[in-house]
Structure formats: structure tokens, C-alpha cells
Chain A
């Protein structure tokens, strides 16, 4: 089974900061990596698919990169509405999917 890890598990940042979250797969998954944002009490929202493709309607301050086992989600300038938990998800082993444990971004 493919295992996903994320780092850090949580971080504190200020509005305007550049934020980077890392996701690592236990084996190579090419670009089969997606990122989701979840706010408290809400459903997850797709941000990035296929490692670097921005979902329609998602602000351009969000970007994704990586291939193989190491991936990053970057928020270029953190906005108040970006405080949330972020999850990566591998879809290499489709029809089986695995989520990472999540990274909580809160206000410094």
C-alpha cells in the first residue's frame, strides 16, 4: 500500500506570508497527486490536481509542484480565508486512494 506523509503537521503563519507544505509518498506516484483544502465544519475543496494543475476557480496564489515521491503545495501570499487544513491525496493506485494526514495552517 502507498503511504502518504505530510510536513509539517501544523504551522502558524501571518497574512501575507509565503507558505509551503510538503507531501511525501512511500513509493513513486509520478504526478498522481492532488491537494485539498478543508475549513472547519466544511467539506474538502479541490485545489490542485495532477500535482500542479490548478482547479478552476482556485486563486492563483495556490500552486503545486513535484513528481515521483516528493510534492509541495505553496501559498504565495497567505490570505485570511486560507487558514484551514490541507490534505494531499494519491491516486496512483486507483481505484484505491490514500490521503495524507493533513497540515493545519493557523494564524500566528
Chain B
């Protein structure tokens, strides 16, 4: 079955770090990039960036540089999002999504269920 399975909810204190995983199955992992999307409570979707799962090269959108790190491990078909020095405003659901292209138009055809990260003292 083609799917992305994300790790479970996390409760962290301010200043701590968190690592969210996104495991792919049912397709060739390194053939598709993985994107990360944030959704704060009651808010819309915010694209964070993506990782080339073949080369491991990440690209970050503005506002997601410095404390946010994407990585991947092809041996276990898994992509990771690590956030350091957590702040209350990092509390959100984080989604991973596979990117596909048709005639040059890229879109996200497969999504994980999301991982809720709550930052609270």
C-alpha cells in the first residue's frame, strides 16, 4: 500500500528539540521528493520546504531556516523533520507530502496523517 506514515504526537517544553519521522512504503522512496507543511491550530497550510530523497539535499522556505532541519535515510525509506530550540509558536500539526509532476506542474499527491507537536511549559 502506497502511504506515508508519520510518528506520533509530541509534547515538548520550550527550548527542547523534536524529531518527526515520515516513513514511506509501497513505492520507490528515492524517486520522489518529500515536502513538509505546517498547520498551526485553526490556521491554513504553510509550505516549509522539501528534501530530495535521492541526494538528501534540503531546501527551506523563508522562515524555516536555522532551527528546522530536514534529513532522510534511504535504508529505512524515512524522512525526518527536526526542530530545535522549540517555541510556543511552533505548536502545530506537521505534514509530510510526496511531490509528483505532470507536464512540469508539481503537486502533492500523497500525504501523511500529520504529527501534532505541542510546545508548552
Please measure, in the bound complex, the distance between the C-alpha atom of A53 and the C-alpha atom of B102, giving whole angstroms. 10
Which chain A residues lie closer than 8 Å to B105 at the CB level? 31-32, 34, 49-50, 91
A-B contact count (CB 8 A): 65
Which chain B residues lie closer than 8 Å to A38 at the CB level? 45
Q: List 28 A-B contacts (CB under 8 A).
A: A31-B105, A32-B106, A34-B105, A34-B108, A38-B45, A42-B113, A43-B111, A43-B112, A43-B113, A43-B114, A44-B95, A44-B111, A45-B111, A49-B105, A49-B109, A50-B105, A87-B45, A89-B45, A91-B105, A94-B106, A95-B50, A95-B59, A97-B47, A99-B37, A99-B45, A101-B44, A102-B44, A102-B45
Chain B, range 86-121, C-beta contacts under 8 Å to A: 95, 97, 102-109, 111-114
Given contacts A43-B113, A50-B102, A53-B102, contact A87 B44 (CB under 8 A): yes
20 further interface pairs, Cβ-Cβ under 8 Å (given A43-B113, A94-B106, A99-B37): A31-B105, A34-B107, A34-B108, A36-B45, A42-B113, A44-B97, A44-B108, A46-B109, A49-B102, A49-B109, A50-B103, A50-B105, A53-B102, A91-B106, A91-B107, A96-B47, A97-B47, A99-B45, A101-B44, A102-B45
Chain B, range 60-84, C-beta contacts under 8 Å to A: 61
Which chain A residues lie closer than 8 Å to B61 at the CB level? 96
Please measure, in the bound complex, the distance between the C-alpha atom of A91 and the C-alpha atom of B109, giving whole angstroms. 13
Q: How many residues of chain A get a CB closer than 8 Å to chain B's CBs?
A: 26
Which chain A residues lie closer than 8 Å to B109 at the CB level? 46, 49, 55
Which chain B residues lie closer than 8 Å to A20 at the CB level? none
Given contacts A44-B95, A50-B103, contact A99 B113 (CB under 8 A): no
Q: Does A98 touch B at the CB level, under 8 Å?
A: yes
- The chain A residues found within 8 Å of chain B, CB to CB, are 31-32, 34, 36, 38, 42-46, 49-50, 53, 55, 87, 89, 91, 94-102
CB distance from B117 to the nearest CB of A (A): 15
Q: Does B35 touch A at the CB level, under 8 Å?
A: yes
Interface pair A43/B95, CB less than 8 Å apart: yes
| Chain B minimum-CB-distance residue to A51 | B105
